[in-house]
Amino acid sequence: MPIISSPHEFNVEDIYLDLRRVNGTPLYLKCEGFNFAGSIKLKAAIAMVEAAERDGLIGPDSVLVESSSGNLGIALAIIAADRGYRFVCVTDPRCNSTTQRLMRSLGADVRVITTQDANLGYLNSRIQYVRDLCASSDRYVWLNQYANPNNWRAHYEHTAPAIAAEFPDLEVLFVGAGTTGTLMGCARYFRQHRADVTVVGVDAVGSVTFGGVPERRVVPGLGTSTRPELVDESCIHDVVHVSEPDTIRTCREMAARGFVLGGSTGTVVSGAARWLAEKYPGEDPVAVAISPDLGERYLNSIYDDLWLREHFGQGDLSTDPHWSPHP
């Protein structure tokens, strides 16, 4: 019986969903949403906070500040509440209302930046707001998930070894690219310990992380409008870009089988299914993908027909004459 005294002490690492029965894809999905933060971001959050504490960057009057589209903000809000810190989350209109309310319920100060940057996103505007805030007072401590090496180290030390232990014959690993902390940590681990594993990054169409053409994006999670400093393309073997309609369609197809998962998961699964069909047609490789979060926070967006009509001109992106809910 686990007994804990801090929320970050609970995290289920060993749940994998076999997608063969769900959508016919030869892929195991590592589900990372079973902790009090509801996402994989809890690992990076605690690693960055504890490193800042060890380095003496956080004092009694400090205010933690971070730019986040949602999940890291929630994770940091939980840790700040547990440790008695003040926390400011700088986000944008793509961060859904449920996520914002959850952070505020934990005592976070949520600030929504509405100025788009040159790449049709908000990330550069959010980061500039954080820089200005930190320049205004030395009380503010920016953890900077986009450049903080403890972001990727959390996954080098925990996520990747857990996958390697469960799948000694692993051939392909798919990881979504946001800040690229999870991707870089896993890629570095397998390059050092299991160089035969192919690591594939999955990004959103319209993201500039890997040099893509910037486009409008409305699904929070993967993709950036400013290239993260953590990116090291030499660590990965390939990159797949997924359109938002494909992300939403995949999410809804999995929900029709009883698995309501987050938008980033839909992106990763869609990209992985396409890559495997092209590279391993008719084969059954040992492949794993990482699912960052569950889907409850997306009920007002990708699972809502009114939202879909507003942003995509239709209310059901799961309609596909070639898809059956029971493969």
Give, for all 327 residues of the chain, the pLDDT tens digit: 789 999 999 999 999 999 999 999 999 999 999 999 999 999 999 999 999 999 999 998 999 999 998 999 999 999 999 999 999 999 999 888 889 999 999 999 999 999 988 878 888 899 999 999 999 999 999 999 999 999 999 999 999 999 999 999 999 999 999 889 999 999 999 999 999 999 999 999 999 889 878 888 888 778 877 888 899 999 999 999 999 999 999 999 999 999 999 999 999 999 999 999 999 999 999 999 999 999 999 999 999 999 999 988 866 665 454 444 444
Tokens of 97: 């209302």
Q: Give pLDDT tens digits for 113-138.
A: 999 888 788 888 999 999 999 999 99
pLDDT for res 29: 98
pLDDT for res 315: 63
Q: Which of 202, 289, 277 is nearest to 239 (CA)?
A: 202
DSSP string, 181-217: HHHHHHHHHHHHH-TTSEEEEEEETT--TTSPPP---
Q: Give pLDDT tens digits for 267-303.
A: 999 999 999 999 999 999 999 999 999 999 999 999 9
At residue 252's C-alpha, the angle toward residues 245 and 206, to 5°, is 25
Does residue 113 sit in helix, strand or coil?
coil
In this structure, how many other beta carbons lie within 10 angstroms of the beta carbon of residue 50?
16
* Euclidean distance between CA atoms 297 and 303, whole angstroms: 10
Percent of the chain with pLDDT over 70: 96
Q: Which of 224, 233, 40, 262 is nearest to 146 (CA)?
A: 224
Q: For the domain covering 7-34+154-312, report its CATH number.
A: 3.40.50.1100
pLDDT for res 318: 56
Tokens of 89: 């989350």
Could you list the beta-strand ranges (E) of 68-196: 86-91, 109-112, 140-142, 172-176
Q: Give pLDDT tens digits for 224-250.
A: 778 888 999 999 999 999 999 999 999
Q: Is beta strand 86-91 parallel, antiparallel or unpaired with respect to 109-112?
A: parallel
pLDDT for res 278: 97
Backbone angles phi, psi at 23, to 5 degrees: -140, 15
CATH 3.40.50.1100 boundaries in the chain: 7-34+154-312, 41-142
Q: For the domain covering 41-142, report its CATH number.
A: 3.40.50.1100
* Euclidean distance between CA atoms 272 and 274, whole angstroms: 5
